[in-house]
Amino acid sequence: MFEARLGQATILKKILDAIKDLLNEATFDCSDSGIQLQAMDNSHVSLVSLTLRSDGFDKFRCDRNLSMGMNLGSMAKILKCANNEDNVTMKAQDNADTVTIMFESANQEKVSDYEMKLMNLDQEHLGIPETDFSCVVRMPAMEFARICRDLAQFSESVVICCTKEGVKFSASGDVGTANIKLAQTGSVDKEEEAVIIEMQEPVTLTFACRYLNAFTKATPLSTQVQLSMCADVPLVVEYAIKDLGHIRYYLAPKIED
């Protein structure tokens, strides 16, 4: 028996919004430690890794490890039927071929449930090696989204250059060149507005705008985003999900032809 309950459907809606542009379907691996999802986008350029800890749920029970393959378009249709403040509960029997998603209004006067067919998806788990990153940048998630959106107008690629002075995002195309520099913030009243750079050595890497923009669909989940970079390894873009877990996106760099 698997049962996981969250106080607010809005969190699950935001999580789905953060992954459904990259993934058509995905397997949710449930165990007593929580829910894990790892999947590559169709073109195998990026990897999404979602971790939701069992202690972050209002109620969590998972008697046996369970892999639930879900069509994310179908799940989005179901989540559209929930009000943001509704409680949401996911339930499945051991070895079931369906999952039930139930919404309850705060006053318990409206209860709706949706049974969704599960899919057998080919599981291709990738091993992610531990990396000592050259640069780790923490910055406001909204600012990162804005930069990715703005620079996508100029080029298919963004060059991210990180030094101890700051981080520079550049794009160059037919229109010309765009450069956006962010300096490390000295002192800020609000932690969520800070730009913080931890640098071992400077790094310059090129990434596809299209994927960066897809990752920023996670912006509503978190006030800050963390970018971890190292020469010739995938970029890690991490959004914390408060008291519940995190979503990490890995993006392979572009290299010169």
Partner 1 sequence: MQKSITSFFKKQ
> Which residue's entry shows tokens 């953060």?
18
What is the closest distance, in whole angstroms, from the C-beta atom of residue 205 to partner 1 in the complex? 11
Q: Of residues 125, 164, 181, 242, which one binds partner 1 by CB under 8 A?
A: 125
- Told to check if 159 binds partner 1 by CB under 8 A, we report no
Per-residue b or e along 190-208, where b marks 16 or more CB atoms closer than 10 Å to that residue's CB = eeeebbebebeeebebbbb
Residue 48, both tokens: 């999404």
Under a CB-based contact definition with an 8 Å cutoff, are residues 88 and 5 in contact? yes
User: Taking the complex as a whole, how short is the minimal distance between the CB of residue 228 and partner 1, in angstroms?
Assistant: 14
Among 37-45, 54-62, 162-170, 176-184, the segment contacting partner 1 (CB under 8 A): 37-45
Q: Rule CB under 8 A: choose which of 1, 126, 183, 188 binds partner 1.
A: 126
Question: What whole-number distance in Å separates Cα of residue 219 and Cα of residue 17?
Answer: 10
Choices 94-102, 110-118, 123-131, 237-245; region in contact with partner 1 by CB under 8 A: 123-131
The interface mask with partner 1, positions 58-77, x = CB under 8 A, is --------------------
Among 95, 129, 189, 190, binds partner 1 (CB under 8 A): 129
Q: Does 256 engage in binding with partner 1 (CB under 8 A)?
A: yes
- Could you give the dihedral angle defined by the CA atoms of residues 217, 105, 54 and 249, in that order, rounded to the nearest 10 degrees? -10
Among 21, 29, 45, 61, binds partner 1 (CB under 8 A): 45
Is residue 47 part of the contact set for partner 1 (CB under 8 A)?
yes
What's the closest the beta carbon of residue 38 comes to partner 1, in angstroms? 10
The residues facing 21 across adjacent strands are: none
**How far apart, in whole angstroms, are the C-alpha atoms of residue 196 and residue 226?**
9
What is the chain's Cα-based Rg?
A: 20
Pairwise CA distance, residues 113 & 185, whole Å: 48
212 lines the binding site for partner 1 (CB under 8 A): no
Q: Which residues bind partner 1 (CB under 8 A)?
A: 40, 44-47, 124-129, 208, 233-234, 250-257
